[in-house]
Amino acid sequence: MESKDIKNITDVIKEESGVLSGLSNEMGKVIVGQKHLIERLLIGILANGHILLEGVPGLAKTLSVMTLAKAIKVQYQRLQFTPDLLPADLIGTLIYNPRSGEFTTKKGPIFSNIILADEINRAPAKVQSALLEAMQEKQVTIGDETFKLEDPFLVLATQNPIEQEGTYPLPEAQVDRFMLKLNVDYPDKGEEREILDRMALTDTNIKVDSVLQPGDIKRLRSVVDQIYIDDKIKDYIVDLVIATRDPQKYNLDLSEFIEYGASPRATIFLAIASKAYAFLKGRGYVTPQDVKSIGMDVLRHRVIITYEAEAEEMTAENVIQKIFDNIEVP
């Protein structure tokens, strides 16, 4: 790609970045701190990728997603996942009409643009798999009819790492469908104080304006698709992913710690998420630092570690960090 083309894309991004800063400002009205989380939610919107949020209760995971949905003029549904939930509660069902002797389709709450699947690991496997068909195929089957889901369609799921009794952990194949997995952390002291000042009221209903239309999202995504990614950076992405499967190829002594590496889906998602990250930084091309910045969120749930790793208190993140530290940057 010629440098003038990259400059053109960069100019378009600069024009469009106002829309996204408006979205960030609306979220900032409600959410204190959590810059990393807000940035990653925007990347999910730009890159058309589902997001899994993990963190202890009370860190504004649900609030962040609800605020994001309010700031975009789209249909939004919050689904509280519980052990007694049925697939029909999610996707809908066929209802028999005794007068006409026919079945009519009653669509479920999944027919929305943004779905907040709250505490996704509390629902049984049948419900999880119904949601995951929708995520992967962007369609839902009720009876013998298949219905396309509206675009944009994003699933933002939360899970708590504590209170694991009575939960149904997501199988690896299902976790793999989330583009990003974010670990939501505690605020620092200054942010905690700001939360107190702003939120320690009996009425905390803050008005959020809709600043983005579904058409804007499609337009922004078409700009993301045009962002330039050099062949050397493509090779770097492939090297990172293959190093999770075959670390010895790259002289990394990590084989005993890795049970399974990342799938080709990781390669695709890492490239798209890097482009979306470059967009947020106002650039029409991807740098190796973009790949590194977003890489942990794309890979952390795709690298499965062994019992040996757990015994040595190595986490998937430690393994991925070693790969990032040792693979040559172009």
CATH number at residue 235: 1.10.8.80
Q: Is residue 205 part of a domain?
A: no
> What is the spatial distance between Cα 56 and Cα 258, in angstroms, rounded to a whole number?
26
pLDDT on residue 237: 95
Burial class (CB in 10 A: 0-12, 13-18, 19+), 222: exposed
Q: What per-residue confidence (pLDDT) applies to 278?
A: 92
User: What tens-digit pLDDT sequence spans the chain (330 residues)?
Assistant: 667 787 888 888 887 877 788 888 787 777 777 778 888 989 999 999 999 988 877 777 778 888 888 888 888 899 999 889 999 999 998 888 888 888 888 899 999 999 999 888 888 888 888 888 888 888 998 888 889 998 889 999 988 776 666 677 787 777 888 999 988 777 778 777 877 877 777 776 777 888 888 888 889 999 999 999 999 999 999 999 999 999 999 888 888 898 888 999 999 999 999 999 999 998 889 999 999 999 999 999 999 888 988 888 888 899 999 999 988 888
Confirm whether 222 is domain-assigned.
Answer: no
Q: What is the pLDDT of residue 187?
A: 73
CATH number at residue 10: 3.40.50.300
Report residue 323 CA to chain centroid gap: 22
Question: Is residue 181 located within the same domain as residue 271?
Answer: no
In this prediction, residue 6 carries a pLDDT of 79
The amino acid at 38: I
pLDDT tens digits, 121-157: 888 888 888 888 888 888 998 888 889 998 889 999 9
Please give the pLDDT value at position 1.
61
pLDDT computed for residue 124 by the predictor:
86
Exposure of 303 in the CB half-sphere (CA atoms within 13 A): 32
Number of domains in the chain: 2
Q: Do residues 165 and 237 share a domain?
A: no
**Residue 17: Cβ-neighbour burial (10 angstroms; 0-12, 13-18, 19+):** middle
In a domain, 38, yes or no: yes
Q: Could you report the per-residue pLDDT of 191-229, keeping only the tens digit for each?
A: 778 778 777 777 767 778 888 888 888 899 999 999 999
In a domain, 119, yes or no: yes
Q: Which domain holds residue 83?
A: 3-198+212-216
Same domain, 19 and 141: yes
Task: Give the model's pLDDT for residue 17.
Answer: 77
To 10 degrees, the CA torsion angle through 35, 40, 41, 42?
90
> Cα–Cα distances in Å, from 288 out to 7, 285, 324?
19, 10, 11
